[in-house]
């Protein structure tokens, strides 16, 4: 007797028809195959859609990010984000640009209800590391610009310092689905930026929402951290301004006596309204 196939949550990245799990591979009706990696993640980024051989963060960046985050410097923000998301008790939740999965793990730790947790990142090493640490979440390598999920699949999307594509975001969320975006507030990492810029400028306080979303709540979370020299460098490499820091600047950041760095996060909760 044939067993009924469970409905698939993935679409084939080549022909957009549903993928079904057959043993350790996901297969579409047109016989495109995607094997589950030994760490349990799925690579749904076909080579023809990659713009470089190793898109996103590399292994070294991923490890530095994990070390910094696991030291707890961003835990107050992660906890606040988890609380904001958990209040709506989403069943299907996507961590978009999940990196090595720190926030997915925090979500699981802080959310009392059960949910299906999905993570997407374009960086293979990050997804492999995320999948290895959280076997009950479903991590895939894919681009935010082509999410291989059906329309209206998710109850909520978490996007923490990650790029996204407005149209794809709106497509994969259910009607009245929630988006929680975490972006830098005006004074985020001010003291680190002082090593790099002659004149540090504040970020804008408000972030524009994607079209078709309405703001429900904004929380600003700011506090000071005192990372050690290695953590300061890891933090630098997590930022978009790292490329401006030459060898001399990096040494100055590493060699400086311990100093406080302001964090400043904007947590914006929005609802899909059309």
Ligand X SMILES: C[S@@+](CC[C@H](N)C(=O)[O-])C[C@H]1O[C@@H](n2cnc3c(N)ncnc32)[C@H](O)[C@@H]1O
Alpha carbons 221 and 160: distance in angstroms, whole number: 14
64 binds, among Zn ion, ligand X, none (CB under 5 to 8 A by kind): none
Query: Residue from 106, 143, 231, 268 that binds ligand X (CB under 6 A)?
Result: 143
Nearer to Zn ion, 16 or 109 (CB): 16
- Provide, rounded to whole angstroms, the least separation between the CB of residue 48 and ligand X: 15
Region 102-131 residues binding ligand X, contact defined as CB under 6 A: 102-103, 120-123, 126
User: Does residue 168 touch ligand X according to CB under 6 A?
Assistant: no
Nearer to ligand X, 27 or 75 (CB): 75
14 binds, among Zn ion, ligand X, none (CB under 5 to 8 A by kind): Zn ion
Going by C-alpha positions, the residue among 91, 85, 226, 212 that lies closest to residue 159 is 85
Pairing mode, strands 25-27 and 33-35: antiparallel
The token pair at 182 is 């975490």
Please, which residues have CB within 8 angstroms of residue 34's CB and are 6 or more apart in sequence?
12, 13, 19, 25, 26, 27, 42, 43, 44
Query: Residue from 12, 44, 65, 227 that binds ligand X (CB under 6 A)?
Result: 65
Alpha carbons 94 and 237: distance in angstroms, whole number: 25
The contact set with Zn ion (CB under 5 A) reads 12, 14-15, 28, 30, 32
User: Does residue 57 touch ligand X according to CB under 6 A?
Assistant: yes
- Provide, rounded to whole angstroms, the least separation between the CB of residue 238 and ligand X: 6
Residue 13 C-beta-side C-alpha neighbours within 13 Å = 21
C-alpha distances (whole Å) from 14 to each of 24, 100, 115 are 19, 26, 28
Number of residues lying near ligand X (CB under 6 A): 21
* Chain residues that interact with ligand X, rule: CB under 6 A: 56-57, 65, 97-99, 102-103, 120-123, 126, 143-145, 160-163, 238
């Amino acid at each position: 007797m044939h067993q009924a196939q469970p409905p698939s949550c993935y679409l084939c990245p080549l022909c957009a028809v549903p993928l079904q799990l057959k043993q350790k591979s996901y297969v579409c009706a047109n016989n495109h195959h995607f094997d589950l990696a030994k760490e349990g993640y799925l690579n749904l980024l076909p080579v023809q859609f990659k713009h470089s051989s190793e898109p996103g963060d590399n292994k070294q960046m991923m490890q530095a990010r994990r070390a910094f985050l696991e030291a707890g410097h961003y835990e107050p923000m992660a906890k606040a984000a988890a609380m904001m998301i958990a209040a709506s008790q989403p069943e299907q939740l996507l961590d978009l640009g999940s990196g090595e999965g720190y926030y997915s793990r925090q979500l699981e730790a802080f959310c009392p209800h059960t949910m299906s947790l999905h993570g997407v990142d374009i960086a293979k090493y990050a997804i492999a590391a995320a999948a290895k640490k959280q076997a009950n979440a479903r991590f895939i390598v894919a681009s935010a610009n082509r999410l291989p999920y059906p329309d209206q699949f998710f109850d909520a999307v978490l996007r923490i310092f990650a790029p996204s594509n407005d149209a794809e975001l709106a497509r994969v969320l259910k009607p009245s689905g929630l988006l929680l975006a975490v972006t830098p507030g005006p004074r985020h990492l001010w003291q680190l930026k002082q090593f790099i810029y002659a004149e540090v400028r504040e970020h804008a306080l408000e972030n524009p929402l994607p079209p078709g979303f309405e703001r429900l709540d904004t929380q600003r979370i700011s506090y000071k951290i005192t990372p050690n020299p290695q953590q300061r460098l890891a933090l630098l490499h997590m930022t978009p301004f790292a490329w401006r820091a030459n060898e001399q600047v990096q040494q100055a950041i590493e060699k400086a006596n311990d100093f406080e760095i302001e964090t400043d996060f904007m947590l914006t909760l929005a609802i899909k309204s059309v």
